[in-house]
Structure 1
């Protein structure tokens, strides 16, 4: 395989990593890291020292941002731990539960709807002391807050992933694209 072809193949893998940074269920920054490591193994790690360092920092930041954004969204909406746990359970059940029914769209729909429903159910169970209408309103508010926080975190992770790929392209362009 020629070097430029491999370079562009790895860049394509990085683009999938950018998508994965935004869409849950698809590997994100880890795919970008693997592509950079492959390029470093072939071309020498001195050519990827900067992008490798940036990717590792982005990977660590991404984990923190994901938790912080969900927590902040939950806190702003007044969600309890039950709502947060419900969102996590809803994510897993939504992803796995709709997989057999709809092979491609099922998990994506489940990833979007599952956390919302899980957070609403978790919060609804926690707020047993309230009447039905205020209980449902608080549960809905908490569910939406958790999901919005998570989506904002995903957008930030996507922007960081794009920055990582741009750093890789900027630092390796003379070695890869025209080699």
Structure 2
């Protein structure tokens, strides 16, 4: 039975990392869910107040990293709020419209279309902003992956 419980916990953690590529999956909820399942299956005793404080801090950092990476990259490449929104919508819709490559093409096209439609940018400027949105997405995935890795490593540190 212990193997089944650990398998479920590990599946939750893996789904959390899949959520980095498919942003419709709430990564952090699966990571926290895996930790809570450990408590339900085994015990909450290894989790001190410090443990929960660190995990909450890391969750806040995840949300900030996600928002900041896209915002900074789009703004750095000359984008507006419309470009940020277009990039975000493209990021969510892209993988469903174009499986596999949609995760990169979606934010790129979303930012371009938003800038063309709402800010009347020329196509070259809009494409530059679209490129910035892809850079923001990639840096966000890397940053969130590192933070999620810390969350899971700290979990294992606490339970071992």
Q: TM-score, normalised by structure 1?
A: 0.77
Distance 1:146 1:25 in 2: 17
Q: 1:18 to 1:112 in 2, by over 3 A?
A: same
Structure 1 residue runs of 5 or longer lacking an equivalent are: 99-105, 174-179
Q: TM-score, normalised by structure 2?
A: 0.85
- Residue in structure 1 matching 2:139, options 152, 162, 165: 152
Distance 1:22 1:93 in 2: 12
User: Are 1:22 and 1:157, in contact at CA under 8 Å, matched by a contact in 2?
Assistant: no
Larger-gyration structure (1/2):
1
SS of residue in 2 equivalent to 1:148:
helix
The answer to whether structure 1 residue 110 and structure 2 residue 97 are counterparts is no
Distance 2:124 2:26 in 1: 35
The answer to whether structure 1 residue 45 and structure 2 residue 44 are counterparts is yes
TM superposition shift of 1:8:
4.3
Aligned length: 159
TM superposition shift of 1:167:
1.0
- Relative contact order: is structure 1 or structure 2 higher (C-alpha 8 Å, sep ≥ 6)? 1
Q: 1:172 to 1:14 in 2, by over 3 A?
A: same
For 1:71, the equivalent position in structure 2 comes to 71
